[in-house]
Amino acid sequence: MASELGPGKLLVLQYHSGDKYATPETEAKVKEYNVKGFPTIFFNGGNSVVGGGSGNYAQYSTVVNSELTKQSSVSIVGAMTLSGGTLSLNVTVTNISGSAITNVKLMAVLYSDYGTEEHHYVVRDILPPSNIASLSAGETQKFSLSSDFRDSLSSLRAVLFVQSSSGQILQSAIAQ
């Protein structure tokens, strides 16, 4: 589905637990989302579906199409650079809605594409969140983030998203 829709409509992150791809950050994410079984998938921070495989395609598609009809209240523009083994992200978040947005956080998650069918979006690092206490209508805020993660740099990507305090993801974007 990700290749069908493209990164302009659907982004995917794979958080591993209990296997060789798991990291302390992904294990913490499992607890944060209160995941009870694998696989479990969340769309925009909610709409969870437990279970995976091609048999769930229709269910996934319904959720994704529903989410795509919603208006996003923020836009994200980011640039990722690598210098001396440090990965840096410069991110601009703009409130494109007509009202203020409060108490949200900007998240940046790095993933690697290992090339195999089930390992295209394996999360490798989760950067500390950047809290946005308030973002008035039309306001833009800029953030500089960095990670010293060193692995498969040629296939490393960054997904940026703005998430509300309730867990809802308002918008996401990819830097590659």
- 31 near another protein (CB under 8 A): no
Binding of residue 102 to another protein (CB under 8 A)? no
| Dist CA 81 CA 60 (whole Å) | 33
Would you count residue 132 as binding another protein (CB under 8 A)? no
Asked if 106 interacts with another protein (CB under 8 A), we say no
Say whether residue 56 binds another protein (CB under 8 A).
Answer: no
Q: Which is nearer to another protein, 33 or 114 (CB)?
A: 33
124 binds another protein per the rule CB under 8 A: no
Compute the least distance from the CB of residue 117 to another protein, in Å.
13
Q: Does 37 bind another protein (CB under 8 A)?
A: yes
Which class for 85: exposed (0-12), middle (13-18), buried (19 or more C-beta within 10 A)? exposed
**Would you say 22 and 9 are in contact if contact means Cβ atoms under 8 Å apart?**
no
- Token pair for 24: 């302390």
Binding of another protein by 146 (CB under 8 A) = no
Q: Which of 23, 25, 56, 96 binds another protein (CB under 8 A)?
A: 96
One residue of 108, 127, 132, 159 binding another protein per CB under 8 A = 159
Sign, CA torsion 55/12/112/148? negative
> Is residue 46 helix, strand or coil?
strand
Across the strands, what pairs with 95? 74
